[in-house]
Amino acid sequence: MFKEFKEFALKGNLIDLSVGFVMGAAFTKFSGSFIDDLIMPFVAKASSGADFSNAYISLSEKVPAGLALVDAKKLGPVVAWGNFVSIGINFLIVAFVMFLVVKAMNKLKKKEAEAPAATPAQEVLLTEIRDLLKK
C-alpha cells in the first residue's frame, strides 16, 4: 500500500498540480494587491473619490450612514457592493492574464508543431551512400 501511495504521490501530474496550486495562491495575493493598491485608487478618483472598499447598502436602521464597512457589519446586515465590484475587477484581470498565458502557450505549441522535423544524421548518411552507389 505504501508503494502504491509513493507511486501516486511522485507522479508528474500530481507534482505539476501542486506547483500550479502554490503558484495560484501566490498569484491571488499578487492580483489582490494589484487591484486594491493600483487599480481601485484610480477607479475611486474617476468616480469622484468614492471608496469602494467601504461602499455598502445598509439593510438595518441600526447602521448609521458613513460608518466603515467592518463596523457596519457588526451592527447589522449590509450589502457590501463595493467589495463585490473589487472582486469582479480582480476576476476580469486574472481571467485576461490567464487568456494571454494560454494564447502564448498555444502559439508556442503551434510553432513547435510547424517546425520541420530534423532528419537524423544516420538517415542523411545512408541517403548519401545510396546516391553514391547509384552513380
pLDDT at 118: 67
Three-class HEC string of the chain? CHHHHHHHHCCHHHHHHHHHHHHHHHHHHHHHHHHHHHHHHHHHHHCCCCCHHHCCEECCCCCCCCCCHHHHHHHCCEECHHHHHHHHHHHHHHHHHHHHHHHHHHHHHHHHHHCCCCCCHHHHHHHHHHHHHHC
Measured distance CA(29)–CA(93) in Å, rounded: 13
Closest CA to 9 of 18, 98, 31, 81: 18
The pTM of this model reads: 0.53
The domains found in the chain, sorted by start residue, are 2-134 (1.10.1200.120)
**Mean pLDDT of the chain, nearest integer:** 80
Give the pLDDT band of residue 115 (cuts 50, 70, 90): low
Give the three cell numbers for residue 16.
505539476
What pLDDT is stored for residue 49 in this prediction? 67
pLDDT at 126 over 70: yes
**Rg of the Cα trace of the chain?**
29
Q: How confident is the model at residue 117 (pLDDT cuts 50, 70, 90)?
A: low
What are residue 11's phi and psi, to 5 degrees?
-65, 145
57-100 pLDDT tens trace: 888 888 888 888 888 888 888 888 888 887 787 788 878 888 88
26-35, 83-92, 113-122: the lowest-pLDDT one:
113-122
